[in-house]
Amino acid sequence: MNIDAIQNGIVIDHITAGRAMRIYDLLGLDALDVSVAIIKNAVSHKTGDKKDIIKIDSTMPVNFDVLGFVDPGVTVNIIRDGQLVEKRRIEMPQRLTNVIRCKNPRCITSTERAIDHVFKLTDPKNKVYRCIYCETKA
Amino acid sequence: MKRSVIDILDLTPAELEELLATALDIIDNPEKYAHACAGKKLATLFFEPSTRTRLSFEAAMHELGGAVLSVTDAASSSASKGESVSDTAKVVSCYADIIAMRHPKEGAALVAARAASIPVINAGDGGHCHPTQTLADLLTIRRQKGAFSGLTIGLCGDLKFGRTVHSLINAMARYENNRFVLISPDELKLPSYVKKDVLAERGIPYEQTTSLEDAMPQLDVLYMTRVQKERFFNEEDYLRLKDSYILDMAKLKNAKDDLCIMHPLPRVNEIAVEVDDDPRACYFKQVLNGKYMRMALILKLLKEAAQ
């Protein structure tokens, strides 16, 4: 399957197969008025494994924390005038602000208005994030 | 600089030592501290009832020569009008010099601390943290045992939901050569994340048992907590287990002579009244120690805020 190369935009590559839609949702790509291609189960030339790819026909600011939280190891390629100008491998962020919400009904974030929902990475090996207020796992 | 204490781990071991030293000095020389906080005001904001903790903070501030602004039922005043914790903290910052706050929501004290321009002491945020209870526990252990290392610490009762137990494990796990004996019914075992993240991670030895009597002979400290009826799915299990975790003189038969028996209180029936007269019973000393540690903490935070 072929998708046209983009002239000015962003390619999020090496997404673990099946996670593209979660990234699409968390990045709010549904609100964009530009072409967005989601390629599922593409075969990686490097490893031969399946992967997902998202191509965005716009150089919008990307929340790298979302990418690092959902799928650390993805790469973000910035394309300008048809040329690759920046390639970045995304690591797990130390803190996540307003990306996800705390699920604990006893947490102050469930009642306090205008509060940032903040999680911190407490166990990088097992990718554990905890709410900074109540320490509940994300 | 303004600084708040939300979790016992906000205090380094060196700072804990400083607080313990201050508390011991207060005990020896109360007159030296009688006017230490003159002209300062402590606001106690209690969004849920806790007479003992509030009285302890207020007694602490009075003994330091300071004044107390007390909101005993904050939940029915500002909060019922829809005021956020942040706004309440900002408003109270205009009136007082330091806040002690209890709130039913976990993390509420952190929210208040971030919004307030004065220090906030967490006096209990739901089932999350209660650092000044742990300070009371630590001073009690220090005064009774002389040190924080080389101790076998038994924790008995509700180890699943008991926040005082989790805080004490966190605090004592920072010292060398301690071991823990976790005594509880299967339904109320210590959560696996505490065992994994705190004990196993640091290689601290622990054993789990359901028998208080079997564990007794090896213990230097016994921390009792209440097995609450509402934690069980059915009354039958509760009735079957409740007496196993009641400490009486018969269960103390094989205990060490210098055992330190602690309880965060309030006690219902988990320690028989006959134990109160035993010299090993330290739970009322713990209450007094709580006041001294709160005095030391208020002093430290007010001093830092003035710098």
Question: Mind listing the pLDDT tens digit for each residue in B160-196?
Answer: 888 889 899 999 999 999 999 999 988 889 988 889 8
Name every residue whose Cβ is closer than 8 Å to that of residue B142 and which is 6 or more positions away in sequence.
B20, B148
Q: How far is CA B275 from CA A71, B213, B214, B288, in A?
A: 57, 15, 19, 18
Same domain? B186 vs B220: yes
Same domain? B38 vs B94: yes
Which of B90, B128, B167, B197 is the mutation pick for testing A, counting most A CBs within 10 A? B128
The predicted-structure confidence for A88-105, as pLDDT tens digits, reads as follows 999 999 999 999 999 999
Same domain? B119 vs B210: no
Interface of B with A in 77-106 (CB under 8 A): 84-86, 103-106
B239 half-sphere exposure, CB direction, 13 A CA radius? 3
Of residues A11, A3, A4, A29, the one with CA closest to residue A80: A11
In which band, very low, low, confident or very high, does the pLDDT at B79 lie, cut at 50, 70 and 90?
Answer: low
Mean pLDDT calculated for residue range B134-156: 97
Q: What is the largest CA-CA distance in chain B?
A: 58
Domain with residues A9-89, CATH architecture: 2-Layer Sandwich (3.30)
Same domain? B268 vs B299: no
DSSP B13: H
CATH number at residue B72: 3.40.50.1370
Same domain? B89 vs B151: no
Residue B231 pLDDT > 70:
no
Residue A4 pLDDT > 80:
no
Q: How far is CA B227 from CA B130, B162, B249, B262, in A?
A: 19, 10, 19, 15
Contact assignment for A104 to B125 by CB distance below 8 Å: no
Identify which has the larger pLDDT, B242 or A85: A85
Q: What is the largest CA-CA distance in chain A?
A: 51
Q: Which residues of B participate in catalysis according to the annotation?
A: 52-53, 81, 102, 130
Contact assignment for A134 to B126 by CB distance below 8 Å: yes
Same domain? B159 vs B209: yes
Angle at B207 between CA B205 and CA B211, to 5 degrees: 155
Nearest-CA distance B163 → chain A (Å): 12
Least confident of A40-49, B62-71, B110-119, B265-274: A40-49
Name every residue whose Cβ is closer than 8 Å to that of residue B80 and which is 6 or more positions away in sequence.
none
Same domain? B188 vs B255: yes
Same domain? B89 vs B140: no
Angle at B10 between CA B6 and CA B16, to 5 degrees: 115
Name every residue whose Cβ is closer than 8 Å to that of residue A3 and which is 6 or more positions away in sequence.
A37, A39, A55
The predicted-structure confidence for B204-226, as pLDDT tens digits, reads as follows 999 999 999 999 999 999 999 98
Contact assignment for A133 to B103 by CB distance below 8 Å: no
φ, ψ of residue B306 in degrees (nearest 5): -80, -15
- Written as one letter, the residue type at B226 is R
Same domain? B94 vs B218: no
Count of the separate structural domains present in chain B: 2
Paired tokens of B236: 């039958």
In a domain, B3, yes or no: no
ipTM of this predicted structure: 0.87
Residue B72 pLDDT > 80:
no
Domain ranges of chain A: 9-89, 95-131
Residue B60 pLDDT > 90:
yes
The rounded distance, in Å, linking the Cα atoms of A123 and A126 is 6
Q: For chain A, what percent of residues have pLDDT higher than 90? A: 72
Nearest-CA distance A94 → chain B (Å): 18
Same domain? B138 vs B274: yes
Supply the range of the domain harboring residue B38: 8-129+289-306
Contacts of A106 in chain B (CB under 8 A): 104-106, 126-127
Same domain? B20 vs B109: yes
φ, ψ of residue B43 in degrees (nearest 5): -100, 125
The rounded distance, in Å, linking the Cα atoms of A107 and B111 is 11
User: Is residue B222 within 8 Å of B278, Cβ to Cβ?
Assistant: no
Nearest-CA distance A136 → chain B (Å): 10
Which residue of A lies nearest to B110 if distances are taken between CA atoms? A133
Nearest-CA distance A23 → chain B (Å): 29
Same domain? B142 vs B274: yes
In which band, very low, low, confident or very high, does the pLDDT at B78 lie, cut at 50, 70 and 90?
Answer: low
**Whether B201 contacts chain A with CB within 8 A:** no
In which band, very low, low, confident or very high, does the pLDDT at B74 lie, cut at 50, 70 and 90?
Answer: low
Contacts of B125 in chain A (CB under 8 A): 108
User: Is residue B96 within 8 Å of B43, Cβ to Cβ?
Assistant: yes
Q: For chain B, what percent of residues have pLDDT higher than 90? A: 76
**Whether A132 contacts chain B with CB within 8 A:** yes
Residue B112 pLDDT > 80:
yes
The number of beta carbons lying within 10 Å of the beta carbon of residue B191 is: 12
Question: What is the b/e burial string over B252-275, where b = at least 16 CB atoms within 10 angstroms of the residue's CB?
Answer: beebbeebbbbbbbebeebbeeeb
Question: What is the b/e burial string over B162-181, where b = at least 16 CB atoms within 10 angstroms of the residue's CB?
Answer: bbbbbbbbbbbbbbeebbbb
- Written as one letter, the residue type at B291 is K
